[in-house]
Amino acid sequence: MKYRLIGMIGPVLLAFLLTGPVAAEKPSDERALAGAEHGQILWDITIGDPERLIARLSVIEETYEDMVRQGLEPNMVFAFRGGAAALIARDTNHLEIEDVSAVRHIHDRLADIQELDGVHMEACYIATRRFDLGQEDLIPGVHLVGNTFLSIMGYERQGYTTIRID
């Protein structure tokens, strides 16, 4: 009897071990998004630490995917100011050697994000002049604006929600 029970449990246990854990389906945000057709977010990016920004970019990308998954049309503005302005310079010679690889990774991630529909990126002139950066010094796809505080105000008037990334 004992061997018979083991003979029956063995294949079931083996099947479970071979298939691994099953990921639960991600919950929806239907209550919060009821009636919404567009997701309008302005990412107010001030973080100057490359590794921390890489982690935040992953969450931002997941947010974009979640919008699409839940039937929203994403509209995202990335506003770089403060210490983040140094991370969007084409040239990485001004960086500490240990940060160069991470900043290049940021550049690649931002280039990929720019390919998504509904994404716009801009940098604050007030912040970039601290690093002696002009439009020609920024990575492709990031547009220099006079003052991102005014951008934030304007985008909020257009219905964007500002989420600070610092």
Mean pLDDT, rounded, of the chain: 90
- Residue 85, domain extent: 45-165
pLDDT of residue 82: 97
Where residue 93 falls among pLDDT bands split at 50, 70, 90?
Answer: confident
The whole-number pLDDT of residue 96 equals 80
The answer as to whether 13 is a domain residue is no
Q: What is the pLDDT of residues 25-83, one digit of tens each?
A: 999 999 999 999 999 999 999 999 999 999 999 999 999 999 999 999 999 999 999 99
Confidence (pLDDT) at 13: 44
The answer as to whether 19 is a domain residue is: no
Asked whether residue 54 is domain-assigned, the answer is yes
Q: What is the pLDDT of residue 157?
A: 99
In a domain, 91, yes or no: yes
Helix (H/G/I), strand (E/B), else coil: 19: helix
Q: What is the DSSP string of 37-102?
A: -EEEEEEEE----HHHHHHHHHHHHHHHHHHHHTT-EEEEEEEE-GGGGGGGBS--TTS-HHHHHH
Residue type at position 69:
R
Domain presence at residue 30: no
Q: In CATH, what number is assigned to the domain containing residue 82?
A: 3.40.1260.10
Tell me, yes or no, whether 25 lies in a domain: no
Q: Note whether residue 29 is domain-resident.
A: no
Query: What is the pTM assigned to this prediction?
Result: 0.84
Starting from the edge strand earliest in sequence, which strands make up the sheet with 38-45, in order? 142-145, 119-124, 73-80, 38-45, 161-165
- Whether residue 106 lies inside any domain: the answer is yes
Please choose, from the candidates 155, 62, 162, 154, the residue with its C-alpha nearest in 3D space to the C-alpha of residue 116: 62
19-28, 39-48, 88-97, 119-128: least confident range: 19-28
How many domains would you assign to the chain? Answer: 1
